[in-house]
């Protein structure tokens, strides 16, 4: 139960403050509330709505944990159960596993968050919405949490659940070691005139997941084998009248995460401009290019696998 206290200087005090009200922050807040800890969440969004699709479901172990908390049925009633387990893109059927939930669940992340937020609200966890943590100062007694609106919160513990570019992690001086990126990804949501046959395929360019109709109709084999492939394929999809509903591709460039040097980035930039020019000239009937030739070389498709995602990525050497 919350027992937040407002101090004489106007700052509200909690035992624990969680920065970030996504799935991780919400689940942690629920766990702490069940243990009787006074916990609060600071979330920059006004609600649980997301830009883009994000995660598409839950795996068996997550459903088991939710079942331990008595809330699994809330998620199961909102989604679709399916066999989604796999290794190296090989489907694994876990329907005979000794579990109450030997399956995965197809359910969009915004709905997952809405259900978790409802559970947390029932546990009377306060969520400071449209607020954002900008920094903190620590002393022997706890943490002073600074918010973007100039207000502050006091807590014994501050937990960063604010994503891969966590403000809390960076302010605390905690490294995020790893390797340079080796793939380029494009996640798209498109509207088609007919129900497609979905499937996931791997080729020498990477992993692709589109409908069979898209794979068989676009002259994909005329495209570049480098970073430019995704841009060319998007241009082809538009040229051949596949309506694009949304493209979610947030990007941030910094030294630790970039896998392309300056020379190649310049080449990519000019390549994008070149693809755009080719698209326009072909549309205007002033020139013809193989990547927009309906008779161009196409990918040889195989029987689609179980999985379906609107994802394309190009592996880099």
Domains of the chain, with CATH numbers?
5-56+108-171 (3.50.50.60), 183-315 (no CATH)
Residue of 171, 71, 53, 174 lying closest to 119 (CA atoms) = 71
Q: Does the reported pTM lie above 0.85? A: no
Mean per-residue pLDDT, 62-80: 95
Q: Nearest 5°: CA angle at 84, between 78 and 86? A: 155
Phi-psi region of 142 (alpha: psi -120 to 50; beta: other; left: phi over 0): left
How far is it, in rounded angstroms, from Cα 114 to Cα 245? 23
Q: pLDDT higher for 119 or 150?
A: 119
Q: How many helices (H) and strands (E) does the chain have?
A: 8, 17
Residue of 201, 175, 232 lying closest to 299 (CA atoms) = 201
Choice among 86-95, 126-135, 172-181, 244-253 with the minimum mean pLDDT: 244-253
Tell me the pLDDT tens digit for each residue of 7-17.
Answer: 445 568 999 99
CA distances from 163 to 129, 252, 263, 290 (A): 17, 14, 31, 42
Tell me the pLDDT tens digit for each residue of 231-289.
Answer: 888 899 889 888 665 555 555 555 555 566 788 888 889 999 999 999 999 999 999 99
């Amino acid at each position: 139960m919350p027992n937040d206290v407002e101090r004489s200087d106007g700052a509200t005090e909690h035992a624990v403050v969680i920065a970030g009200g996504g799935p991780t922050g919400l689940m942690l807040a629920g766990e702490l509330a069940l243990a009787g800890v006074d916990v609060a969440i600071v979330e920059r969004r006004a609600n649980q709505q997301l830009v883009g699709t994000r995660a598409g479901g839950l795996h068996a172990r997550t459903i088991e944990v939710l079942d331990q908390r008595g809330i699994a049925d809330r998620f199961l009633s909102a989604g679709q159960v399916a066999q989604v387990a796999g290794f190296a893109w090989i489907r694994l059927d876990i329907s005979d596993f000794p579990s109450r939930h030997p399956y995965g669940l197809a359910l969009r992340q915004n709905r997952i968050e809405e259900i978790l937020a409802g559970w947390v609200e029932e546990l009377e966890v306060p969520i400071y919405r449209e607020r954002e943590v900008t920094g903190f100062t620590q002393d022997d007694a706890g943490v002073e949490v600074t918010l973007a609106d100039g207000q502050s919160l006091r807590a014994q513990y501050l937990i960063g659940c604010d994503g891969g570019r966590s403000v809390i992690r960076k302010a605390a001086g905690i490294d995020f070691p790893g390797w340079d990126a080796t793939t380029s990804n494009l996640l798209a949501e498109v509207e088609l005139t007919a129900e497609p046959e979905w499937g996931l395929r791997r080729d020498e360019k990477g992993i692709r997941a589109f409908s069979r109709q898209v794979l068989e109709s676009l002259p994909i084999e005329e495209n570049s084998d480098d970073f430019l492939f995704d841009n060319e394929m998007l241009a082809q999809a538009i040229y051949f009248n596949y309506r694009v509903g949304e493209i979610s591709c947030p990007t941030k460039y910094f030294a630790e995460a970039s896998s392309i040097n300056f020379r190649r980035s310049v080449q990519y930039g000019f390549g994008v401009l070149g693809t755009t020019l080719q698209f326009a000239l072909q549309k205007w009937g002033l020139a013809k290019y193989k990547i927009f030739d309906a008779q161009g070389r196409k990918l040889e498709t195989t029987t689609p696998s179980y999985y379906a995602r609107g994802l394309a990525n190009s592996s880099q050497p």
